[in-house]
Amino acid sequence: MSKGFTLIELMISITILTLTIGGGMVYMNNFNASQKIQTTKSNLISVLKQARSFANTSQLPNNPGSDPLRCVMVTIDNSGLATIKTEYGSVYLTKQVADSNVTITLTNQSNYVNVVPCFAYYSGKLLVPGSNPTVYDTLTSGTAFYYSIQTAELGAGTTDVVSVNQSGTINEKL
């Protein structure tokens, strides 16, 4: 009767330990990606609601300019920086809504290409630029814009969507 472990027993123990740690790492990676998506979604909803609030209350930015204001828009650059501004570019505020591994893509159901929707002053309804650059059109019934949030982390495959419909309602549960 020997005291100690055989080589086979040690190899089996190390294999089981490696598999357990590997499974835990995969779970933690997916959990971290999911948390980044949820944080980005929460930040995006907050910025969209703040922009709609500026529009509903007709609040002016610090330097509104002399042109009549019709709407408040939210633009998001590739680094995840959101800017709430008027259609003429006067800025209300900027806020980092996503980190470098998360992308936000704006899409819609209609034929609007490269269009950033605006929340109309007084009503908060969504407007889009019309055929004339000085005119903004209301969206047709049933039209919505979608902000798709995705992470680029390996193996995450996590996506979430925030929509804004023609009445300016922000829907976070699709």
CATH number of 7-171: 3.55.40.10
Cβ-count burial 30-52 (b if 16+ within 10 Å, e if not): beebeebbeebbebbbebbebbb
Q: Is the per-residue pLDDT at 95 higher than 90?
A: yes
Which pLDDT does position 50 carry in this prediction?
A: 92
Q: pLDDT tens-digit profile of 118-141?
A: 888 888 888 877 666 566 777 777
- Amino acid letter for position 131: S
Q: Is the per-residue pLDDT at 154 higher than 60?
A: no
DSSP string computed for 8-55 = HHHHHHHHHHHHHHHHHHHHHHHHHHHHHHHHHHHHHHHHHHHHHHHH
CA nearest 44: which of 1, 88, 86, 81?
A: 81
Domain ranges of the chain: 7-171
* pTM beyond 0.85: no
56 membership: H or E segment, kind and range: helix 7-56
